[in-house]
Amino acid sequence: MGIAGKLLGLVFAVSGFLILWWGMGTNDALSLLYSFIGMFVMAMGFALLTSGRQQKEEKPPPPTVTEIRCSSCDFKEIRDFQKGDYVLKAVEATCPKCQGAMTIEGVYMVREDTEDKDRI
């Protein structure tokens, strides 16, 4: 919920209050209904205003990638980290360029904010 949600919540709260105030000021049969609607709209507005405050933004664990390098040529490939990957492990896949054997050269954690790579 961004600033638009907060603004919407404020609009709801204020208009709810106005409907409530106007509903209580009138003496016709619908005044009770207006008061009720006013309270409801106001409650919705406050719910919008307060939403997002309690819930913390949970960051997913940083994605881990595996860098595979061909031992014959300089072909490099980055793929998602798979369980059991470790540095210098020979992978089953062969190099798409020269069909040579490929080994894992590095396992990295990718930081989302800086795009920097951390070597494990």
Give the residues lining the site for Zn ion (CB under 5 A).
Answer: 70, 72-73, 75, 95, 97-98, 100
As measured in angstroms, the least distance from the Cβ of 107 to Zn ion is 20
As measured in angstroms, the least distance from the Cβ of 117 to Zn ion is 22
For the chain, how are helix, strand and coil distributed in percent, rounded to 5?
35, 25, 40
Nearer to Zn ion, 28 or 74 (CB): 74
Nearer to Zn ion, 46 or 75 (CB): 75
Q: Are 104 and 85 in contact (CB under 8 A)?
A: yes
What is the rounded distance in angstroms from the CA atom of residue 6 to the CA atom of residue 50?
Answer: 8
As measured in angstroms, the least distance from the Cβ of 78 to Zn ion is 15
What is the rounded distance in angstroms from the CA atom of residue 89 to the CA atom of residue 107?
Answer: 11
Nearer to Zn ion, 79 or 111 (CB): 79
φ/ψ bin of 104: left (φ > 0), alpha (ψ from -120 to 50), beta (otherwise):
beta
Q: Which residue has the tokens 């040529």?
A: 73
As measured in angstroms, the least distance from the Cβ of 71 to Zn ion is 8
Nearer to Zn ion, 58 or 74 (CB): 74
